[in-house]
Amino acid sequence: MDKNMYCNGEWIGADLDRIKVTNPATGEVIGSVPNGGKSETKQAIAAANEAFKGWSKKTANERASYLKKLYELVVNHSDELAELITKEMGKPKQEAAGEVGYGASFIEWYAEEGKRVYGETIPASHDNKRLHVWKQPVGVVAAITPWNFPAAMITRKVAPALAAGCTVVLKPAEDTPLTALRIAELVEEAGFPKGVFNIVTGAPDVIGTELMENPIVKKVTFTGSTEVGKLLMRQAADNVKKLSLELGGHAPFIILDDADVDKAVQGVVASKFRNAGQTCVCANRIYIQPKIYDAFIEKFNQEVDKLIVGDGSNDNVHIGPLINQSAYEKVDRHVQDALKQGAKLVTGGSGFEQEGAYFYKPTILKDVRDSMLIMNEETFGPVAPIQLIQSDEEAVQLANQTPYGLAAYVYSEGLSRGMKVVEALDYGIVGWNDGLPSVAQAPFGGMKESGLEREGGHHGIEPFLETKYVSIGL
Ligand code: ADP
């Protein structure tokens, strides 16, 4: 499956070197995309700039009708998109189908939300003045997306940007460009005007530098590592580019002793093992109080033992491969470090390599301590480390003891008790008795070093809008 870049309504880059795309479950090459660079990025930015003139002047209703067409096309092609996601990213079929549904929900939601971009009138201090606040699209937007949600991370950024009246240049992750380009084909089929949505593939630093330095780009929205996020922030300083960043996380999963243990087991299995643990909101560390410590671990272990590891295109598989060798090595380093420092292995604890594909068994570690690597660094793998804690205060203190602040989870059946813990957590998203809190209509994003701004909800369109204050003298 060889695809080209999408720029100004045309498919470009056929003459460039190719970047191979492989299936992480088999190591097999499944396609290729062009190795675009500075000049293709400039071309895409110029196309988006030209298209902005017309797109920003369309009514919200007109923009909504294009987005609704795109939504229908994505839904009608969900099986095919899911299959492609599994092929280039590795997540199991059913999860991939879930991602397509989740991704499509942002298109549908923002088609409508674009109609609710309201301004304000403000009472004036003089009877001959009228004060207004207008909302206007920021301009050309650059979106840089990661590999772990090849479809949804695109729609979560692009749908609100387009609904707001912005035009977009997207740089998808090098591991998963095929899903992005398939979505571009659907954008073309939906009849969007040329240049409204463009995709460039190639070397991340070269494309990234042009997107950051080019003054036509007014806003950059990024999901990925904290390291690259910080680099983009530094690059943004030179022309004070607006930024939305959704960076790393290290989610604490706190189970208080008044929790419903079965619910907590379900929640942690969903949060921890989804996408083989490769999401920024995956539970990274589990804290449990003594009264339910053993009972929880026993039930959790029974559930984890049912999880099957393998190629996600097989119907019975729950945990696909890790994205690459270095991901595998990091996961194993976290496990070995914990074991060396005295953690006890409940299940799993190793992985395997198969013709260039890397798998890790779902793993539970108990009696983990907060000095261990796994309790501090983002693991991005199917490993659940459990630490015994005593008080609710200790849970909060440990949970907040990190530069990250994306997602946290609290299991407690007590209203006052749960509320106090949830309020004290420095996290942008908290699932209280809920292991899967993310939906299109709610704000997703982090505090502290986990990011800037929010995606989803009415909050998610704001970063694509400028506020213009207009004072009118009569
Ligand atoms: P991960 O560790 O999840 O791969 P990255 O931050 O490396 O996270 O990647 C997320 C996205 O950022 C990808 O699209 C990747 O190509 C892009 N990226 C990586 N390095 C740079 C860079 N120097 N400038 C701009 N984008 C980059």
C-alpha span between 322 and 329 (Å, rounded)? 10
Span from the CA of 327 to the centroid of ligand 1 (angstroms)? 14
Does residue 421's CB lie within 6 angstroms of at least one atom of ligand 1? no
**40, 246, 378, 449: which is the annotated catalytic residue?**
246
Strands 167-171, 465-473: parallel, antiparallel or unpaired by DSSP? unpaired
Write b or e for each residue in 90-99: b if 16 or more Cβ atoms lie within 10 A of its Cβ, otherwise e.
bbbbebbbbb
Q: Judge contact between 92 and 321, C-beta under 8 A.
A: no
Burial class (CB in 10 A: 0-12, 13-18, 19+), 323: buried
Mutate to test the pocket of ligand 1, among 221, 225, 323, 378 (most ligand atoms within 8 A of CB): 225
Reported as a single tens digit per residue, the pLDDT across 114-159 is 999 999 999 999 999 999 999 999 999 999 999 999 999 999 999 9
Does residue 249's CB lie within 6 angstroms of at least one atom of ligand 1? no
Residue nearest to atom 11 of ligand 1 (CA): 146
Span from the CA of 366 to the centroid of ligand 1 (angstroms)? 33
State the Cα torsion 414-416-419-424 to the nearest 10°.
Answer: -120
Residues of the chain with CATH 3.40.605.10: 5-247+450-473
The tokens for 188 are 């073309």
Residue 355 has what pLDDT? 87
C-alpha span between 50 and 44 (Å, rounded)? 10
Residue 167 has what pLDDT? 98
The tokens for 229 are 């996020």
Span from the CA of 205 to the centroid of ligand 1 (angstroms)? 8
The structure tokens 């292991």 sit at 435
Pick the CATH number of 5-247+450-473 from 3.10.129.10, 2.40.240.10, 3.40.605.10, 3.40.50.2000: 3.40.605.10
Span from the CA of 172 to the centroid of ligand 1 (angstroms)? 9
Span from the CA of 119 to the centroid of ligand 1 (angstroms)? 35
Does residue 79's CB lie within 6 angstroms of at least one atom of ligand 1? no
Residue 356 has what pLDDT? 87
Residues of the chain with CATH 3.40.309.10: 251-439
3-state SS assignment for residue 53: helix
The tokens for 187 are 């954008």
Does residue 144's CB lie within 6 angstroms of at least one atom of ligand 1? yes
- Count of C-beta atoms within a 10 Å radius of residue 262: 11
189 is catalytic: no
Q: Is 61 left (phi over 0), alpha (psi -120 to 50) or beta?
A: alpha
Name the stretches of the chain with pLDDT < 50: none
Mutate to test the pocket of ligand 1, among 89, 144, 209, 217 (most ligand atoms within 8 A of CB): 144
Kindly report the CATH number that applies to the domain delimited by 251-439.
Answer: 3.40.309.10
Residue nearest to atom 15 of ligand 1 (CA): 173
246 is catalytic: yes
